[in-house]
Structure 1
C-alpha cells in the first residue's frame, strides 16, 4: 500500500506546492482524499491513470480542498473511467456535486457526451453526505470518519457552525491503518482516528517561531494544528510514522527545519516532511 502526497500546500498560491490532496494506492484501487488545486496535474505527474480514480473522500468544503473536484469528475471520465465516480463528504457534499453537474458544467458535459463518442457516454458522479462513524467496508478495505475541529472556537453564528462539519478519516487495509487528519487542531476526534496508526498524514501549518502575532496565535489555537502541537498529537496516539502536510507558503527553508524541530521535541518516531509527490510505503 502506498500513500502519495499529491499536494502539500494551503489556500494561498505557492510556486512550490499544490493544495493539500492525498492519494492512497491499494493494488489497482486509487482512493483520493480531497481535490485541491492542481490535483489532476499532480496525478499525471505521479503516473496515476486518471480513469482509475473511482472514489473521493472530502474532509471539508474549504476551496483549497475542493477547488479542482470538477476537474477530477470530468477528466476521470474523459480518461476512461468505466464506473460511477463516488464522492463522500460532510453534509452539503451532495448539493455541491449536484450543482457542479447540473448547473455549472452541465453544458460542458452535454457537449462532450454528444460530440465526443469516444468517451463512451457520460459516467455518473454519485455523491453521498456522511457523518462521523463507519462509512464503507468493501471487504478489501474499510474506512471510518471522525469529527475534527477546524475553526469551531471562532466567533461565528451558531447556525453556521451547525452546518460546518469537518472530518478526518481512518483507512484500514492489509492489517495497516492510515489516518488522514484533514484540517484540525487537537481534539478527541483526531485522537481517535490517529490511535495506533501506521501512518498519520497530519496538517502542520506553522513552526513555533512563525506564530508571532495574535491572528496567528488564534489560527494555531482554533483553526489548524502547528508545530507546537503536532508532535504531542502523534506521541499521544502512538503513531508509528508521521507525515506533515498543509504547509504555508515559505521562501525560507529554515522554517521547515524549525517545524521538524518542534515536532521532534515531543515525537520520537520517523517524520516525513511532506513535499508534493512524496511517496510513502505503508
Structure 2
C-alpha cells in the first residue's frame, strides 16, 4: 500500500475550503507527514489516518503555513500516551525549532523529538524505501522530497523453471532469492528463471518553489509529482516575486520529466471557490493532472500492476 492523503492544500492563508499545507503518505501502515500547517491534526481525524503510526515529519521550510500545526499535533500525541521518539526532518535550524516545540505550553512531552537537519542531496534510508532531500528555489531556505522505493526482484518464471526440471516448492523460493540450485546434477542459475529487476514507486513533493532543474531531475519517470501551483498565468509577476510556481509551469515540468501523474497543490486563496483556471492552464500542457482538494486520497500503484490490470 502506498496512499497519499492531502490534509491541507491551501497556499499561505487558510480558507473555508482549504487548510494550509500538509500531505500524509501511508506506506504499508507507516505514516509520513510532509509539512504540517495549522489544523493538520483535525484533518488527520477527519481523514481517519490515526496518529500512532506517525514515524516522521518532513518540513520543506519554516514559513508559518507549513509548521504551525506541529505544536498541537505533538501535544495531542503526548496526551494519547505516545512514548516512541518522533523524527522531525527539515532544513538548517530544525534542531532549534524542535527545542522551541518542546518548550511550548508549559507541557513536558512524554516522548523525545529527534531533529535531523537535511541538506539537498541527503538521503534518509528506511526499510524498503528512502527519502531524498532536493534543492528547491523559494524565498527562504527550502527543500523538497522524493520518496523512492527500493528496486524489487524480477518476476519468477514458473513455467521456465518447470521446463528446466525444478520441482515446485522450496527450490522456487531459493531461485527467486537469487540463489542457485542443483537439480539432478545440473546447476540452475537464478537469471535463467527470474526476470529483470522491477522499479519500486516514486513520489516527489516540491514544497514551495519556482520550477527548478533539481526538482525536474528528481521527478524523471516519477509515478506521482505533487507540485506547487499557487497561481495562474495572469499572476506570473507575483509568482516570480514570491517564488512560487504557476499551474502551467508545474505542468511543463511534469511533461519534461515524463511523470505518470501530476497533482497541483498550495492553491492561492484567490482560487478558493474556483480553481478551474489553474486546471485549464495545466491541462493544455499535461493531460493527467488533478487539482488537490483537502482530504483527497489517492493510491500509487506499482507500474507493472497497472500493466497487468489493463491486459
TM normalised by structure 1 equals: 0.84
- Change in Cα spacing, 1:22 to 1:39, as seen in structure 2 (3 Å) is same
Deviations 1:59-98 (A, max 9, x none): 0000000011112221222224341010000000110111
Structure-2 residue corresponding to 1:189: 214
- Structure 2: 5+ residue runs without aligned partners? 151-199, 301-311
- For residues 250 and 271 of structure 1, the distance between their equivalents in structure 2, rounded to whole angstroms, comes to 20
- Change in Cα spacing, 1:221 to 1:143, as seen in structure 2 (3 Å) is same
Q: 1:50 touches 1:75 (CA, 8 Å); kept in 2? A: no
Deviations 1:213-250 (A, max 9, x none): xxx61434651001231110100111100111111114
The 5 Å alignment of 1:165-244 reads: 165-173=141-149, 175-209=200-234, 211=235, 217-220=237-240, 223-244=243-264
Structure-2 residue corresponding to 1:156: none
Deviations 1:108-145 (A, max 9, x none): 22xxx6xxxxxxxx111111111111321112221101
Aligned residue pairs total 250
Structure-1 residue corresponding to 2:107: 108
Structure-2 residue corresponding to 1:42: 43
The 5 Å alignment of 1:5-44 reads: 5-44=6-45
**Bigger CA radius of gyration:** 2
- Change in Cα spacing, 1:274 to 1:34, as seen in structure 2 (3 Å) is same
How far is the alpha carbon of 1:251 from its aligned partner? 6.2
Matched, 1:278 2:296: yes
How far is the alpha carbon of 1:181 from its aligned partner? 0.5
How far is the alpha carbon of 1:252 from its aligned partner? 6.8
- For residues 141 and 251 of structure 1, the distance between their equivalents in structure 2, rounded to whole angstroms, comes to 36
Secondary structure of residue in 1 paired with 2:144: strand
Deviations 1:9-60 (A, max 9, x none): 0222311110011010012200000110110000011101122212010000
Of 261, 285, 306, the match for 1:266: 285
Secondary structure of residue in 2 paired with 1:230: helix
Deviations 1:156-186 (A, max 9, x none): xxxxxxxx42001000126100000010011
- Change in Cα spacing, 1:252 to 1:2, as seen in structure 2 (3 Å) is closer
Structure-1 residue corresponding to 2:266: 246
Q: 1:2 touches 1:24 (CA, 8 Å); kept in 2? A: yes
- For residues 124 and 272 of structure 2, the distance between their equivalents in structure 1, rounded to whole angstroms, comes to 42
Secondary structure of residue in 1 paired with 2:267: coil
